[in-house]
Amino acid sequence: MNMRGDGHASEGAPPGGVQRIAVIGGGAWGTALALTALRAGRDVRLWAREPEVVEAINARHRNETFLPGTDLPETLTATNRLSLACADADAVLLVVPSQFLRVLAEQVEAELAPGVPVVICAKGIERDSGLMMTQVIEQAMPGRPMAVLSGPTFADEVAEGLPTAVTIASPCAQAGDEASLAARLAVALGSATFRPYVSHDMAGVEVGGAVKNVIAIACGIAKGAGFGSNTRAALITRGLEEMKRLAEALGGARETVTGLSGIGDLTLTCSSEQSRNFSFGLGLGQGKTAEEITAGKPAVVEGVVNARTVTDLARKLGVEMPICEAVRSVVHEGVPIVEAMASLLRRPLKAEPKALDLELQHPAEETIVPHLSEITQ
């Protein structure tokens, strides 16, 4: 009989044999997912690149670098040896920033037994290739079974054991397939306060995770510049529409984007300064530079890279994403915030729903920039 991370007993391995889980990535989210697996009664090994993180977890049961203030159970052990972390694993959670996923995946592939599935917990699009994370894994780990885990999650709340729901997506042989990888992982990770939902739409889940970071920067900018809650609500709603367009273009379903991995994650990330992306945008809106905002912070702001990669992909596919384009113009092209916001407001008036296919010239186009300038002074 195993002992969970919270001290409660667990009756052996779940269906499908996912008992031993390797978590690759000792950041806040990786540490929180390791705790989640422990609470679900799984055997967990956590890999971290930083020797000081490994030492702190093993000796003091803390990860002050990435998850300060959280006490970790003695049953959670860390290593910086991938071979040790992956040994005898039934599944591997890849919890690293999106731009580092390929390198780590190639290293894990060299250590992992054939057929062991990997779960992508990174959100984004690869900078140089423009590939989604599943496509990166297909290249770095050919033939490897994979799933995607995403949803509205702040790592510290998950670590505290507060109620949380996520989506796990993998290919399903048929509707209601209890033997699918996503279903088996949901059973393996589900606990009293961690509730996974199962999906077969990996493309839709991935798009939600990548785009929401960019929209969160937009919402942060709006708040920092003084545009108010009405503006943030509009950005979230129309940002959701941009998610739907991109998901459809990639073969995903609009319905997926209205779920946890889409609107759920989008709402969370766009509404709290706990979000690194929202906080980054907030700083920009307040007139700070990117360097000033990120100084001394170890965590990566995924939306900065995603602002370019998401719009590059959208342009390639012919998908209109004006909010993401506006964020890109501010973050990467030096366009003033007033002008970027004006580019959104002066667009022709359109219908909702889009089936009405209506487009009208904006009647106050010439007054937008002066009015915005007054607000931000």
Q: List the beta bridge partners of residue 350.
A: 359
Q: What is the pTM (predicted TM-score) of this model?
A: 0.92
102-150 pLDDT, tens digit per residue, is: 999 999 999 999 999 999 999 999 999 999 999 999 999 999 999 999 9
Structure confidence at residue 175 as a pLDDT band (50, 70, 90): low
Number of neighbouring beta carbons within 10 Å of residue 304: 22
Number of neighbouring beta carbons within 10 Å of residue 242: 23
Structure confidence at residue 353 as a pLDDT band (50, 70, 90): confident
Alpha-helical regions (H) of 263-301: 265-269, 276-285, 290-294
Q: Cα separation of 291 and 296, whole Å?
A: 10
pLDDT at residue 174 tops 70 = no
pLDDT at 4: 38
Query: Token digits for 142?
Result: 């050919």
Distance, C-alpha 200 to centroid of its chain: 18
CATH topology match: 2-200 vs 204-376: no
Q: Cα separation of 103 and 43, whole Å?
A: 25
Catalytic residue among 212, 297, 350, 354: 212
Q: Cα separation of 37 and 373, whole Å?
A: 50
The Cα-based distances of 70 to 57, 73, 138, 158 in angstroms read 11, 10, 35, 11
Number of neighbouring beta carbons within 10 Å of residue 209: 30
CATH number for the domain running over 204-376: 1.10.1040.10
pLDDT at 16: 57
Q: Cα separation of 325 and 341, whole Å?
A: 11
Give phi and psi for 22, each to the nearest 5.
Answer: -100, 130
Distance, C-alpha 176 to centroid of its chain: 26
Q: In this structure, are residues 24 and 96 in contact, taking their beta carbons and an 8 Å threshold?
A: yes
Q: Cα separation of 101 and 10, whole Å?
A: 32
65-88 pLDDT, tens digit per residue, is: 999 999 999 999 999 999 999 999
Write the CB contacts of 108 (distance below 8 Å, at least 6 apart in sequence).
24, 82, 86, 92, 94, 118, 141
Write the CB contacts of 364 (distance below 8 Å, at least 6 apart in sequence).
none
Burial of residue 346 (number of CB atoms within 10 Å: 0-12, 13-18, 19+): middle
Q: What is the DSSP string of 68-127?
A: TT----TT-EEES-HHHHHTT-SEEEE-S-GGGHHHHHHHHHHHSPTT--EEE---SB-T
Query: Token digits for 291?
Result: 């360097």
Closest CA to 89 of 114, 107, 64: 114
Residue pointed to by tokens 């000081």: 52
The Cα-based distances of 62 to 24, 55, 360 in angstroms read 17, 9, 57
Query: Token digits for 67?
Result: 């998850």
176-215 pLDDT, tens digit per residue, is: 677 899 999 999 999 999 999 999 999 999 999 999 999 9
Give phi and psi for 19, each to the nearest 5.
Answer: -110, -40
CB crowding 148-159: b at 16 or more within 10 Å, else e? bbbbbbbbbbbb
278-289 pLDDT, tens digit per residue, is: 999 999 999 999
Distance, C-alpha 155 to centroid of its chain: 11
CATH, domain 2-200, list 3.10.450.40, 3.40.50.720, 3.40.50.2300, 3.90.1570.10: 3.40.50.720
- Please say if 212 is a catalytic residue: yes
Please tell me whether residue 360 adopts helix, strand or coil conformation.
Answer: strand
Percentage of the chain lying above the pLDDT 90 cut: 89
Q: Cα separation of 100 and 124, whole Å?
A: 11
Mean pLDDT calculated for residue range 301-318: 96
Please tell me whether residue 212 adopts helix, strand or coil conformation.
Answer: helix
Domain ranges across the chain:
2-200, 204-376
